[in-house]
Amino acid sequence: MENLLSIIIANKDHAPTLARQLASIKSQTEKFDEVIVIDDGSEHDNSKEIIQKFYDENKDELNVKIELNYKNKGVIQTINAGFDMSECDYLYFGSADDYLLPDFAKWHKTTIKEHRPPMVTSDHNLPKWGPCKGVEDMGWYYVPGHCTSFERGALLEFGKFIEEFSFKCDWFPLHAIALKYGWYTIKETLSVKEESGDESYSNTMIREGKYPAIKQAMESHVISNPLFDDIRDNMLYLISK
């Protein structure tokens, strides 16, 4: 079996949208090589039953792995656990409240096979397509996490998802990898992100005044870590935006 691309879904109490996301995974025109679904202590819906049913019906065909936590560990610990469970070279971290269009896995796997980039992203709104690197290729849009697959080694080098960075835990390695190694953009929208508006986790954290401490933690990490020696100024610039 090929171990090229894994999809990792973390869920807590998102049963209606989780079912839609799992259906979109099953409907891919080319399969993921591994599907990992972790429930992080759902208490108010039937998420665990949905995940168990998906596993029972698809475990062999889709190479499904699941973990059902009965105590909430938090989303960052959960997605890092998914990383540790995966055996694939590339990993896509999908949200339980988003969903994929049918050709997501096909185009990401095709791009990985042809180019072996540190990251693959897919969105028709991005300012440049094909090989990209640095601030100049990001434009105003930055690198969107909801449609990006990571090369395992690149993500591991930057510490996976750092809990101290809270809602910026995915933004941080996305942009560190983009600056240091680059990424490859597919000129197609292949996933759909649900807009949470003012009630999103990130907006809540900002309203509660927690962002300055998160920003300071990212800046301190960049300043003190020699891994950022050649990209430090640009990374600090992005953090400041």
Which pLDDT score, from 0 to 100, does residue 157 have?
A: 97
Domain boundaries, the chain: 1-99, 101-241
**Model pLDDT for residues 8-32, shown as the tens digit of each residue:** 999 998 999 999 999 999 999 999 9
Q: Measuring CA to CA, which residue among 75, 80, 93, 119 is closest to residue 34?
A: 93
Is residue 36 within 8 A of residue 58, CB to CB? The reply is: no
Residue 156 has pLDDT above 90, yes or no: yes
pTM higher than the cut 0.85:
yes
Q: What is residue 168's DSSP assignment?
A: G
Residue 130 has pLDDT above 60, yes or no: yes
As a dihedral over the C-alpha atoms of residue 217, residue 220, residue 224, residue 230, rounded to 10 degrees, the angle is 100
Question: pLDDT confidence of 222, banded at 50, 70, 90?
Answer: very high
CATH class, 1-99 region: alpha beta
Which pLDDT score, from 0 to 100, does residue 109 have?
A: 98
**Model pLDDT for residues 169-191, shown as the tens digit of each residue:** 999 999 999 999 999 999 999 99
Instruction: State how far Cα 228 lies from the chain centre.
Output: 22
* Integer Cα distance of 87 and 84 in angstroms: 8
* Integer Cα distance of 163 and 76 in angstroms: 6
